[in-house]
Amino acid sequence: MNIERLKDKIIIHDPQDFNVEQTLNCGQIFRYQIDDNHAQVCSKDKFAELYTYPDRIEIISSDLDYFYNFFDFERDYSIIKKELTKDEFLFPAVKYGYGIRILNNDPYEMIISFIISANNNIGRIKRSIEYLCSHFGKNMGKYFAFPTLDELKSVTIEDYKNAGLGYRAEQMYETVQTLTIDALDNLKSVSRTEQLNYLVSLKGIGEKVANCILLFGLGAKDVFPVDTWINKVYNNLTKSNEHDREKITRELTARYGNLSGFAQQYFFYYYRENKIKV
DNA sequence: GCCCAGGGATGCG
DNA sequence: CGCATCCATGGG
């Protein structure tokens, strides 16, 4: 794989470590659209278009620097995959999702998005977030920006219910009122323990959602968010019927160490796409 | 009608 | 502390 950074586009030649569909469909992002070989991706107030050809992928955006980092192009995924395919459990999952990359998304957007994700399904999560963007975010012409914290501050519980948040509407309202720009900035520079403590202190955020925010928004790769799918993964691999998610988190984090976040995404995508049950 | 979805909050012992 | 129950909503 060779990444060519041009003035008006990024070209990924021979993309063995990047697949658009896999990267977008593995549950880490909700603001995107794929039709055939063309995809549109939003993050914050930014927008990119991706074209997949037989021999290359081209990325076009008015902010290529942002999306170069967003798609994690500084990292060599071939090394990660080589290490993780040594694991017998993970081998088929890495083969299947060979082109997954973990996005460097905006922590504030991840906080809002993953509060919505709790006990929810991806289709509904996408719809709710689209609703928030189109009703409360800035109209950018071809798309809507993610609503800023300031914009969300004036959104009511009733608005959140209209967005389909259900019982999460009150949690969202309270967390939005609690959040400040300073606290969000501060979150990027404090220790892991302080990040986790702060996130869990917010309404609607427990251990799993906090780990998703750390993984997708704050660059932490040694975390292993355990949702219903990962619960199935664990029970399938260990032939057990465990429901203690803290225990599952501990064991999987211990097994995959500083590559936990990658392992988690390969597992999640493989099991969910193939509807593998216990 | 039941079960499930990238779980979390709350109350009870 | 562990554990059970409840929580909106829509698709399968």
> pLDDT tens, A74-94?
999 999 999 999 999 999 999
Strand partners for A32: A41
The alpha carbon of residue A121 and the mean position of all alpha carbons in its chain are separated, in whole angstroms, by 14
Residue A97 has what pLDDT?
98
Burial (Cβ within 10 Å: 0-12, 13-18, ≥19) of residue A20: buried
Q: Provide the pLDDT for residue A274.
A: 96
Average pLDDT, chain A: 98
Distance, CA of A202 to C1' of B9, in Å: 12
Q: Which of A109, A227, A124 minimizes the C-alpha distance to A176?
A: A109
pLDDT, tens only, A42-55: 999 999 999 999 99
Nucleic strand B under 7 Å from the C-beta of A233: no
Structure tokens at A59: 């990325």
Cβ neighbours around A63 below 10 Å, total? 14
Indicate if the pLDDT at residue A11 is higher than 90: yes
Three-class SS state of A65? helix
Cβ of residue A171 near strand B, that is under 7 Å? yes
Among A262, A42, A30, which residue's Cα sits nearest to residue A164?
A: A30
Spatial separation of the C-alpha atoms in residues A102 and A263, rounded to whole Å:
11
Residue A278 has pLDDT above 80, yes or no: no
Task: Give the pLDDT mean for A179-195.
Answer: 98
A232-260 pLDDT, tens digit per residue, is 999 999 999 999 999 999 999 999 999 99
Q: What is the pLDDT of residue A163?
A: 98
Helices (H), A25-156: 64-70, 77-84, 91-96, 107-117, 122-136, 149-153
Enzyme catalytic residues of A:
208
pLDDT > 90? residue A277: no
Residue A165 CA and nucleotide C12 C1' are separated, in Å, by 21
With a CB cutoff of 8 Å and minimum separation 6, the contacts of A256 are A84, A87, A224, A262, A263, A264
Does the nearest atom of strand B lie within 7 Å of A125's Cβ?
yes
CA A24 vs. chain centroid, Å, equals: 9
- Give pLDDT tens digits for A128-165: 999 999 999 999 999 999 999 999 999 999 999 999 99
From the alpha carbon of A118, which nucleotide's C1' atom is closest?
B7
Cα–Cα distance measured from residue A196 to residue A53, given in angstroms and rounded to the nearest whole number = 41
By CB atoms closer than 10 A (0-12, 13-18, 19+), residue A166 is middle
Percent of chain A with pLDDT over 90: 99
Cβ-based contacts with strand C at under 7 Å: A 119-121, 123-124, 161, 164, 166-167, 244
Decide: CB of A118 under 7 A of nucleic strand B. Answer: yes
